[in-house]
Amino acid sequence: MAIKVTIPSSSVSTRTPKVVTSTSRVITATNLEGLANVDLTGAQDGYTFTFDADTNKWVASPVSSLAIDSSQVSNLDGGTY
């Protein structure tokens, strides 16, 4: 999107119009496969994604591999979006 500004010639001062271009995009829907930093290798039902700092990617992991006491997690609510 470009915005063009025109100043009338009867103006007292001289100004140079500027063109502003925006390269932003809005993504309204996508799949995890389309994200560059997500590795779906080995993903199964019931897995969660954890961040791997060595690869800078989110990787699929079984909940049992996490360093938490899963017996204390009775209700996991991801929120409302």
Where exactly are the structural domains of the chain?
A: 38-66
- 45 pLDDT band, cuts 50/70/90, is confident
Q: Averaged over 23-31, what is the pLDDT?
A: 73
Per-residue confidence (pLDDT) for residue 17, from 0 to 100:
65
What is the pTM assigned to this prediction? 0.46
How far is residue 4 from each of residues 7, 23, 79, measured CA to CA in Å?
10, 16, 43
